[in-house]
């Protein structure tokens, strides 16, 4: 059966690299991002749409439009994420803290709400939420991000217990990848030492496509 894959936050970094790699392998892929202008070269609507993962109605509408077009994903990758500007926790504004939680936690929830019902109906599918080493350990000045990724681990663990045996939910740490977020965290020079997203995706796509019910509830890592 042909594979159909959704990637959120697909306009840059890991998400963009995954879309490109899936497309190279003739896997039908759909994606969303807030930066609609960056999606045009990937494909047309509804496969690629400017949708904020924090927009409940927008996400449900997109999933519905995809389903009506014959696209029912068997792999959904909740990749969209946001890192706070590094600072002691007491100096992080309420607005910035909320933005991180909204994208990294609520965005995963709304992605689940949009696509898991279709997976339940079709009786198959894997939901992968991008976690982090900072969802399993902590560092100074990234407390909001750590909190959000710990929450992702909890969400996915509970979701896996709720799903029927033929479906799966997995939390995946991608390791250290040279993205804009990594540059914000460590500076451009240090971030440039990490693996490039395109190189990471070349092997990660095989890993992702191999995930199945036996992996449900696991906290996995993949580093190129």
Domain locations along the chain: 4-221
CA–centroid distance for 196 within its chain: 17
Give the mean model confidence (pLDDT) for residues 47-65.
98
150 given a catalytic annotation: no
Per annotation, catalytic residue among 22, 48, 134, 145: 145
Question: Residue 57: which residues within 8 A CB-CB, separation 6 or more?
Answer: none
Give the pLDDT score at 25: 95
User: DSSP assignment, residue 177?
Assistant: B
Give the pLDDT score at 39: 83
Bond into 46 cis (ω within 30): yes
Give the mean model confidence (pLDDT) for residues 175-185.
65
Check whether 94 has a pLDDT greater than 70.
yes
CATH class of 4-221: alpha beta
pTM of model > 0.85: yes
Residue with tokens 């995930």: 211
Residue closest to 199 by CA, chosen among 171, 169, 217, 179? 179
End-to-end CA distance of the chain: 28
Residue closest to 77 by CA, chosen among 203, 176, 211, 200? 211
CA gyration radius for the chain? 16
Whether the CB-CB separation of 85 and 95 falls below 8 Å is answered with: no
Residue closest to 77 by CA, chosen among 123, 28, 112? 112
Q: What is the pLDDT of residues 114-173, one digit of tens each?
A: 999 999 999 999 999 999 999 999 999 999 999 999 999 999 999 999 999 999 999 999
Residue with tokens 């709400």: 113
* Residue 111 pLDDT grade (very low, low, confident, very high; cuts 50, 70, 90): very high
Helices (H), 87-179: 94-101, 107-122, 143-162
Provide the percentage of residues in the chain whose pLDDT is more than 90: 81
| Separation CA 30–CA 129 (nearest Å) | 16
Edge-to-edge order in the sheet of strand 28-33: 48-50, 28-33, 4-8, 75-78, 125-130, 167-173, 219-221
Q: Which of 130-134, 146-150, 176-180, 219-223 has the lowest mean pLDDT?
A: 176-180
Residue closest to 183 by CA, chosen among 109, 103, 86, 91? 86
Check whether 216 has a pLDDT greater than 90.
yes
């Amino acid at each position: 059966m042909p594979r159909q894959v959704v990637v959120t936050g697909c306009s840059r970094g890991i998400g963009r690299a995954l879309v490109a790699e899936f497309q190279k392998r003739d896997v039908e892929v759909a994606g969303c991002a807030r930066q609609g202008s960056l999606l045009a070269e990937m494909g047309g609507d509804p496969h690629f749409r400017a949708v904020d993962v924090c927009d409940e109605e927008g996400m449900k509408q997109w999933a519905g439009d995809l389903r009506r077009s014959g696209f029912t994903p068997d792999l959904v990758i909740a990749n969209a994420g946001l890192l706070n500007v590094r600072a002691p926790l007491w100096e992080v504004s309420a607005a910035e803290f909320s933005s991180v939680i909204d994208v990294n936690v609520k965005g995963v929830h709304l992605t689940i709400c949009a696509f898991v019902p279709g997976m339940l109906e079709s009786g198959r599918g894997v939901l992968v939420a991008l976690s982090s080493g900072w969802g399993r350990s902590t560092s100074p000045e990234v407390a909001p991000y750590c909190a959000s990724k710990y929450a992702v681990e909890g969400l996915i663990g509970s979701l896996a217990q709720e799903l029927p045996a033929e479906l799966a939910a997995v939390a995946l740490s991608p390791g250290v990848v040279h993205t804009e977020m990594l540059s914000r965290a460590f500076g451009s020079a240090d971030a440039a030492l990490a693996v490039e997203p395109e190189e990471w995706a070349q092997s990660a796509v095989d890993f992702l496509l191999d995930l199945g019910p036996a992996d449900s509830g696991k906290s996995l890592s993949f580093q190129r």
